[in-house]
């Protein structure tokens, strides 16, 4: 099986031993505590689940600035985005102590992890602006990722952590949430050798379904892991439970048994375009995938990134051999009325725009809200039904 990033063995930070974890939970109640941001809590979940291997905790200021600048930590580890614990104030905390980290996303703010607090530092306004430009390619406050980053505070808490639970992801998405450790175990038990991963934060329409099929066929994959983001999204995006239901229905009906795993991970979307795409590749290598599908405007939002910037970054900014996972580069996929099938548009040079079934997101939402199913060349009817029910429920 493919090695994790940065080590020969996956090192999740979740305290697996039940007795040890219970003891640590009890001890943590007596410790100084800090309420995390949603992003900080999601980082803890990803560290606990092994997706951030080989990191041992939150980055300090020097590592964060270095990663933002050149995608390497001070020690030389390749890493595409800072992994931070940012807070408004740490006046009640002391470097060198052990602290409890509280979850903002669960009622009662339970402790999600404990940290050996090595350093308390701060970013300047200039440094926050620089990181925004380097990671998100903009410091526009209208960019949802930039807005989320700048809302967390400027005080940096860094040090190794031990994770005590997986926040709401394990309880709310028990059938779907999987750690990198669990996905590796499932891949191994399935006997898969070549595995292609597909990232989604949206429901999957026919073009996405066919893209997975195309990738599997071309690389000779034994299976596909559909890996959906379960964390916080921007306003207007479809909730995770609705996406989950629609994807499960699609796989159940239209894929052969035991060819697709439906999984999810607990992370808040960054909308950081190319940088986040590289981070997504790290996740997939850590969970055991050998190949990762990257299409147009992967992890993008609005018009902040070029259509294929998320692919070209692997040529320009990712050093050779920095990652073991291979990238499957995809163009926009759509149904061709000439060929009567879904194709990658770049592979249909004799086509005009009108030869493809293309619908804008706005048009699809309008149709679904009005109880009108998109054409079968765009969306499976069973998927459309689930989405229509959702949109009509929020209109009431």
Is the model's pLDDT at 191 over the cut of 70?
yes
Cα angle 136-142-144, degrees, rounded to a multiple of 5 = 55
Q: Which residues lie below 8 Å from residue 84, measured CB to CB, with a gap of 6+? A: 39, 40, 43, 58, 59, 64, 152, 156
Is the model's pLDDT at 177 over the cut of 80?
yes
- SS3 (DSSP) at 39: helix
The DSSP secondary structure of 167-222, one letter per residue, reads TTHHHHTTTTB--HHHHHHHHHHHT-SSEEEEEESS---HHHHHHHHHHHHHHT-S
Please tell me what DSSP assigns to residue 108.
Answer: T
The span from the CA of 351 to the CA of 333, in Å, is 13
Catalytic residue among 109, 202, 248, 329: 202
Per-residue pLDDT of 30-46, as tens digits, reads: 999 999 999 999 999 99
Q: Is 202 among the residues known to form the active site?
A: yes
The span from the CA of 201 to the CA of 389, in Å, is 19
**Residue 251's pLDDT band (cuts 50, 70, 90):** very high
**Residue 236's pLDDT band (cuts 50, 70, 90):** confident
Please tell me what DSSP assigns to residue 59.
Answer: -
- SS3 (DSSP) at 396: coil
Res 144: pLDDT: 95
Is the model's pLDDT at 396 over the cut of 60?
no
Catalytic residue among 201, 213, 248, 329: 201
**Residue 395's pLDDT band (cuts 50, 70, 90):** low
State mean pLDDT over 341-352: 92
Q: Judge contact between 277 and 292, C-beta under 8 A.
A: no
Is the model's pLDDT at 131 over the cut of 80?
yes
Average per-residue pLDDT for the chain: 95
Q: Judge contact between 362 and 344, C-beta under 8 A.
A: no
Q: Judge contact between 260 and 212, C-beta under 8 A.
A: yes
Per-residue pLDDT of 106-122, as tens digits, reads: 999 999 999 999 999 99
Res 15: pLDDT: 98
Per-residue pLDDT of 352-385, as tens digits, reads: 999 999 888 788 888 988 899 999 999 999 999 9
Per-residue pLDDT of 50-87, as tens digits, reads: 999 999 999 999 999 999 999 999 999 999 999 999 99
The span from the CA of 369 to the CA of 279, in Å, is 34
Q: Judge contact between 16 and 50, C-beta under 8 A.
A: no
**Residue 324's pLDDT band (cuts 50, 70, 90):** very high
Which range has the worst mean pLDDT, 6-20, 153-167, 334-348? 334-348
Q: Is 218 among the residues known to form the active site?
A: no
User: Please, what are the domains in the chain?
Assistant: 18-170 (3.10.400.10), 177-395 (3.40.50.620)
Q: Which residues lie below 8 Å from residue 17, measured CB to CB, with a gap of 6+? A: none
The span from the CA of 92 to the CA of 89, in Å, is 8
Per-residue pLDDT of 301-320, as tens digits, reads: 999 999 999 999 999 999 99
Per-residue pLDDT of 83-104, as tens digits, reads: 999 999 999 999 999 999 999 9
């Amino acid at each position: 099986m493919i090695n994790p990033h940065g080590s020969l063995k996956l090192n999740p930070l979740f305290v697996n031993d039940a007795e040890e974890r219970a003891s640590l939970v009890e001890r943590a109640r007596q410790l100084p505590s800090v309420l995390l941001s949603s992003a900080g809590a999601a980082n803890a979940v990803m560290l606990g689940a092994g997706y951030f291997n080989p990191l041992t905790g939150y980055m300090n200021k020097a590592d964060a600035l270095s990663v933002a600048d050149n995608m390497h930590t001070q020690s030389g580890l390749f890493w595409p985005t800072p992994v931070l614990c940012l807070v408004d104030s740490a006046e009640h905390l002391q470097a060198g102590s052990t602290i409890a980290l509280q979850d903002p996303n669960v009622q009662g703010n339970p402790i999600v992890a404990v940290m050996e607090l090595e350093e308390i530092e701060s970013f300047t306004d200039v440094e926050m602006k620089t990181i925004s430009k380097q990671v998100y390619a903009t410091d526009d406050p209208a960019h949802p990722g930039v807005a989320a980053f700048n809302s967390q505070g400027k005080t940096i808490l860094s040090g190794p952590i031990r994770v005590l639970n997986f926040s709401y992801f394990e309880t709310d998405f028990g059938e779907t949430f999987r750690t990198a450790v669990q996905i590796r175990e499932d891949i191994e038990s399935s006997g898969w050798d070549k595995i292609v991963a597909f990232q989604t934060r949206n429901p999957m329409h026919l073009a996405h379904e066919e893209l997975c099929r195309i990738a599997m066929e071309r690389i000779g994959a034994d299976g596909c892991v559909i890996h959906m983001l379960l964390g916080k999204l921007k306003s207007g995006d479809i909730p995770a439970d609705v996406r989950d239901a629609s994807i499960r229905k699609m796989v159940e009906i239209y894929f052969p048994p035991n060819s697709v795993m439906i999984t999810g991970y607990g992370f808040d979307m960054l909308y950081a375009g190319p940088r986040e795409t590289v981070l997504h590749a790290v996740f997939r290598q850590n969970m055991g995938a050998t190949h990762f599908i990257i299409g147009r405007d992967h992890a993008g939002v609005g018009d902040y990134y070029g259509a294929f910037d998320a692919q070209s970054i692997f040529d320009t900014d990712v050093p050779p051999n920095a990652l073991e996972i291979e990238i499957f580069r995809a163009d926009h996929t759509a149904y061709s009325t000439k060929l009567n099938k879904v194709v990658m548009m770049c592979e249909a040079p004799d086509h005009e725009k009108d030869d493809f079934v293309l619908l804008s997101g706005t048009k699809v939402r309008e149709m679904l809200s009005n109880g009108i199913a998109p054409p079968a060349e765009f969306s499976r009817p069973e998927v459309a039904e689930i989405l229509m029910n959702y949109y009509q429920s929020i209109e009431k």
